[in-house]
A and B are shown apart, each in its own frame.
Chain A
């Protein structure tokens, strides 16, 4: 096994007191993503093979571009991803983002984000490492309190 493959995968997980449907909505609806995903608005029909995009808050700039690979509401969503918000990451090859939602006992769901295929996107890998924990923490706060994280 090469070192390359290992560093090219990032895994994040968080337990949220919310239903899988609520979490699915928070991931796929722009009015929600605007509150925890650096203000960006998701834009996708979620059909396989169609674009998966993220716009700046004023919708003037395309911050992220990709294609839906797999969509199984409310359990699994996977898409390719290019970070266009940064000059250096914008030129890299697309990576892959997968969201997995598993219901647990007591009205809690386990949300896992796997960001992989980062072999040819080392700058993106570096760029998103801190971002995901901020995003997932914000998503948890939003769903559990109804309020965006105060920063």
Chain B
């Protein structure tokens, strides 16, 4: 394994850590669900759906932003929050596909075996 691979690997592990940690909290998952329903919301809008202080909501949003799950963009004087599903997709590609791929290849092997003996 080259140095470059190691750097890439640790980079993606750090990214994964942040995503898993961000998702490990029910309030943050609730915020992601709200953004999934309707994207591009302000802190004030999101805060109104939570039973917590503005500061608390801000803290949760910051964790989601640092994990890349939420992207904030300025629109005039407002800061709008968008759901960014790409990190979840990356985890899917990294972890889930590995297993489905194995299943698919196991089925393909089974098919070949059955056809050969038929």
Contact = CB atoms under 8 A, between A and B. Distances in A.
A and B physically associate? yes
Contacts of A150: 97, 101
B47 interface: no
Contacts of B89: 133-134, 136-137
B16 interface: no
B15 A15 contact: yes
Nearest to B91: A137
A40 B12 CA distance: 27
B83 to A, nearest CB: 8
B40 A141 contact: no
Interface string B81-114: 0101111111001000100010000000000000
Nearest to A6: B40
A7 B80 CA distance: 11
Contacts of A133: 85-86, 88-89
Interface of A: 1, 3, 5-7, 9-15, 17, 106-108, 112, 114, 132-134, 136-137, 140-141, 144, 149-151
Interface of B: 7-8, 11, 15, 38-41, 68, 71, 73, 78, 80, 82, 84-90, 93, 97, 101
The 8 closest A-B pairs by CB, nearest first: A6-B40, A11-B82, A133-B89, A137-B89, A133-B85, A14-B86, A11-B71, A133-B86
